[in-house]
Amino acid sequence: MSSPVQQTTIRAAIFDMDNTLFDFMYAQRAGCSAVLSVLGHPTDPSVLFRYFLRPDHGFESTQNIRDYLVDLGHNDPNLFRICAAQYEARKLQAITPYDDALSTLEALRDLGIPLALVTDADTDHARGRLKQAGLERFFPVIVTPDQTGSRKPSHCQFLSALDQLRVTPAEALMVGDSLRRDIYPCTELGLITAYAAYGDQSPFPSPVCTPDLVLERLDQILDLFPAYSGAVRQA
């Protein structure tokens, strides 16, 4: 971990969700595998997963599954509905928090640090994933595109979280796995930034920016808080 920051005035923390708190790419591939099982295809799930990486419909849209089915010659709307339902169910079921996520959030709560979540998932999906991961109780503030009408890296998302947390940018920590969507815009706004490099699986190019911290584990952010005793740190 790089740790050039000597920070004692952080009053709140904002978290990204997918790949920062849990491995969402794994969950996506699990959902793709469920679709292939419905079709009886032994194909590697990455074949379908590549459809989700296109800009056509968005990273989570089940319309990507429809395109995949059409390309295979399947035009049955009922088959699409079955595949989409299986995809969503298996994707959610596969969400498991990182080993140190729960203990880290508990430590921040015990330190009195209020938390917000800023995600590009819609509100229902965000709450569903947090509930599945057992982390929903830590985030009284959840900012999503269906609330603000914008997506990261728009400053609007982060400003909304800051406003609800009632802190200035200089008093807030941002933790996220995307240099482009999390770290760069928050650096522009003046937040302390912690890049969750352990979760960055993006195939897309990233802007040149320098986060304040580069994390190999989520619990390394606790080093920013002098009051933290280290009791919950994992080996």
pLDDT at 231: 44
DSSP string of 35-82, one letter each residue: HHHHHT----THHHHHHHTSTTT-TT-THHHHHHHHHTT---HHHHHH
Q: For 86-125, how does the pLDDT look when each residue is reduced to its tens digit (9 = 90+)?
A: 999 999 999 999 999 999 999 999 999 999 999 999 999 9
Residues contacting 224, CB < 8 A, separation 6+: 5, 7, 10, 173, 192, 194, 213
Residue 189: pLDDT over 70: yes
pTM: 0.90
Residue 9: pLDDT band by 50, 70, 90 thresholds?
A: confident
Q: Which pLDDT does position 105 carry in this prediction? A: 98
> Beta-carbon neighbour count of residue 68 at 10 Å?
22
Question: Which CATH code fits 12-23+97-224?
Answer: 3.40.50.1000
Percent of the chain with pLDDT over 90: 81
Contact 143, 118 (CB under 8 A): yes
Q: What is the pLDDT of residue 209?
A: 86
Per-residue pLDDT tens over the stretch 11-69 = 999 999 999 999 999 999 999 999 999 999 877 888 899 999 888 898 889 999 999 99
